Structure 1
């Protein structure tokens, strides 16, 4: 039986569900060709726009891919890129995106002192001490806008739940391009449609955000500081320009993932204007207290906060109060705060030093904020990555972070802050030699 004859439905959702069912039964396999839009529309008796909407849903969920004249096919399943994970083998991994464990505060003393009265069902979901500290922390940047606090199991959990309470499948979400891996996965797995917004050294571009809003995005996910992978931070001027664009769309949900917060060397500038109605500022603790500390504080408008609480209630309900108390103990401990301050200086100094080393081998990159460096190359990064493997290095290419901009694939994201001076010198030298060798091969071709 032809694929066309097995797909049915009168709406985009029904057609998409029909294709999903074929995939689940293995009646469609990776690489299989789906019918052209016109052919399928004529066969099942619907408008072509309905089939196009169904294909958008499936593409947004990462199940199919459209390649122009090459047709629409079921995606080939390959390992999903993850932050901090690689098949290391004997290679030195400089693409992890991890914080330096030497600068994560030791929780031993706090662990022994934090136990107290057991928490029972029906009690406040935010531990009172953390609520007081977090409220003061967030209020400085949320300002006088009405808001409420929520605690989630990390920033990714927060963004996923915030989007789920506001959107339905096939809704459009504006994402930075290039984009943080977890944001790409969250949008695709949620069945939403990612609309890329280019970024430059000052953050999201004004024209890019305006174009995304014209496409009907219902949510914007933005990293105001230390954008991953580029390290860009919103400037005051750019933030003001973006707020002016968003002023005409007060009910578009703005999610600001300020993941680097206490470690950032840049001031916080918000996209959220004084009259904006739907917003959420998310700050996790994983970058300065360690990835295993899965906790984020969310300050959002009361409507979003109420719906977010409903999203939490049938599942985890609350984040462990033991974890909340541990976080509070660390962020209010003088020694731990000194370690966090030292970590911030360490990342800034080590990244700046490596950026300077690159100039001596004929490469350059912006000295930006964050755990990583975003290194532009004169040739595709995949070619450089292959050469670096031969020299004993595992690097991360820009291909993994791309939404639409092909220039992203001509970049490396490097995590170098934990390298010794000698290893950093060797990495820079090997990178320069690899680029020169690959460029010479291209020239000879």
Structure 2
């Protein structure tokens, strides 16, 4: 292959590799020649070949695998949240809310103001901004922040990273990790640095190691971490803030996705003196995924940059959608429904965990839509056995940041919509499949 690559400068060599890739001479997964070999073939300095490969890696065209060499990058597939397509099995890995518990928006639609909004007007509905500020201030009372509205939490995270990072910058992610965060970081060309999660959230040693590795951003779930259900304790949050005190310009992104449904107190990594932060709260879990609306509370500079990232594309989130969300969020009847949904998820998950314990599987009902269940056998083996019994489960392997990690022994199970009889059957099948 080295005899097909041409050029005498780093840019020329990189352009040559790109051209070979575009023409199909180099396929995804193709191994590029070692740096020393390429430099000798082209008659250039070794540092020139290194620089060429670095340019290609920053453009996302190649991937360095250490001693295994450098390969042409392909389109890596990442597992997605939600229902699995084209299956006749009972899907218990969706992570979805129960549609029966999502408030009907029809009454609110009949009352929202219909005045058209024109170019140049404020992009955030004043009423929603005032309500959001009160909502956030209750938890970030010692922190100055500004409000931005985005098209959901994933949209907010993608734009927050894009305004702060360059390709190949390092981002600290929880491990195991929320699927959308894995997808966003990989598509953005950033490097994921795993931070282990235990029952109290991100570990202190893990965060310290990530900071030592030079991460420029941290994505953290303060409660109902997906997939484990872990929530930050007050003690752990204080320890993490102490570590971050020496890194005030590292961007902290807190995805508080379960907010109104959570059974846990909100604890934060964001200290009063931290300079770059964003607390993101979407309405998707309690008003429905199709609302596609999130509130981002950020420092002033991040707010300005986030607004610039919004302006050339979506420009603003529809004011009709903002008014619809505000009307529901300020309706006592809707809030009563949301509270009932929160109690339902907690009760059903706790009941299922109790059934598992009775069946000999150690399980704890933490916070969130799903349960994180540890098994004596590798999860993929158990999932295969469950498929023969009519169930489609999601294994912990999907949520691992390192594809080379040992096989997961966890399943993430969404069981809050199962009847008692279905729950009993699933537990029996899990016990049998885990033997």
TM-score, normalised with respect to structure 2: 0.93
Match of 2:375 among 364, 374, 377: 377
Q: How far apart, in 1, do the equivalents of 2:356 and 2:156 lie? A: 37
Q: SS at 1:352's partner residue?
A: helix
C-alpha distance in 1 between matches for 2:364 and 2:16: 48
- 1:415 corresponding residue in structure 2: 414
Tell me, yes or no, if the aligned pair for 2:195 and 2:203 is still in contact at 8 Å: yes
Q: Deviations over 1:243-288 (max 9, x none)?
A: 0000000000000010000000001111011111000000000000
Q: What secondary structure, in the 3-state scheme, does the structure 2 residue paired with 1:86 have?
A: coil
* Matched ranges for 1:5-404 at <5 A: 5-6=4-5, 19-40=17-38, 42-43=40-41, 45-47=45-47, 50=51, 53=54, 57=58, 61=60, 64=63, 66=65, 68-69=67-68, 71-74=69-72, 79-404=77-402
Hey, what does 1:425 align to over in structure 2?
424
CA distance in 2, matches of 1:384, 1:62: 37
Contact 2:92 2:393 in 1 (8 A): yes
Give the conservation status (yes or no) of the 8 Å contact 1:219–1:252: yes
Deviation at 1:399, TM superposition (A): 1.2
Give the Cα–Cα distance (whole angstroms) in 1 for the partners of residues 304 and 74 of structure 2.
40
Report the CA distance shift for 1:410/1:326 in structure 2 as closer, same or farther (over 3 A).
same
Q: Measure, in 2, the Cα distance between the counterparts of 1:366 and 1:8.
A: 59
Q: Secondary structure at the match of 1:256?
A: strand
> 2:6 touches 2:12 (CA, 8 Å); kept in 1?
no
**Secondary structure of the structure 1 residue equivalent to 2:412:** strand
The alignment partner of 2:107 has SS state of: helix
Structure 1 regions of 5+ residues with no counterpart?
437-445
Whole-Å Cα distance in 1 between the matches of residues 331 and 351 of structure 2?
30
How far 1:143 sits from its partner (Å)? 1.8
Pair 261,7 (structure 1): closer, same or farther in 2 beyond 3 Å: farther
Partner secondary structure for residue 408 of structure 2: helix
Aligned to 1:435: 434
Alignment check: 8 A CA contact 2:5 2:13 kept = no
**Aligned partners of 1:116, 1:246: CA distance in 2, in Å?**
46
State whether residues 250 and 277 of structure 1, in contact with CA within 8 Å, keep that contact through their aligned partners in structure 2: yes
Is contact 1:227–1:233 with CA below 8 Å preserved after alignment? yes
How many residue pairs end up in the alignment? Answer: 431
- Matches of 1:391 and 1:8, distance apart in 2: 59
Three-state SS of the structure 1 residue aligned to 2:429 is helix
What's the CA shift string for 1:312-345, capped at 9, x where partnerless? 1111110000000000011111111011001110
Q: Any conservation in 2 of the 1:401–1:408 contact (CA below 8 Å)?
A: no
| CA–CA separation in structure 2 for the residues paired with 1:378 and 1:218 | 37
Deviation string, structure 1 residues 68-108 (Cα, Å, up to 9, x no partner):
54x44446657531100313421000001100111100101
Report Cα offsets for 1:166-208 as digits up to 9, x if no partner. Answer: 1111111111111111111111111111111111111111111
Is the contact between residue 56 and residue 193 of structure 1 (CA under 8 Å) also seen in structure 2?
no
SS of residue in 1 equivalent to 2:87? coil
Displacement of 1:348: 0.6
Q: Shift in Å at residue 19 of structure 1? A: 4.7
CA distance in 2 between partners of 1:234 and 1:336 (Å): 28
CA contact (8 A) 1:7 1:18 kept: yes
1:383–1:52 Cα change, 3 Å: farther
- Single out whichever of 73-82 and 128-137 deviates more from structure 2: 73-82
Q: Normalised by the size of structure 1, how large is the TM-score?
A: 0.91
State the SS of the aligned residue for 2:109.
helix
Instruction: Check conservation: 1:119, 1:321, Cα contact below 8 A.
Output: yes
Whole-Å separation in 2 of the counterparts to 1:9 and 1:419: 64
Distance in 2, matches of 1:395 and 1:201, equals: 22
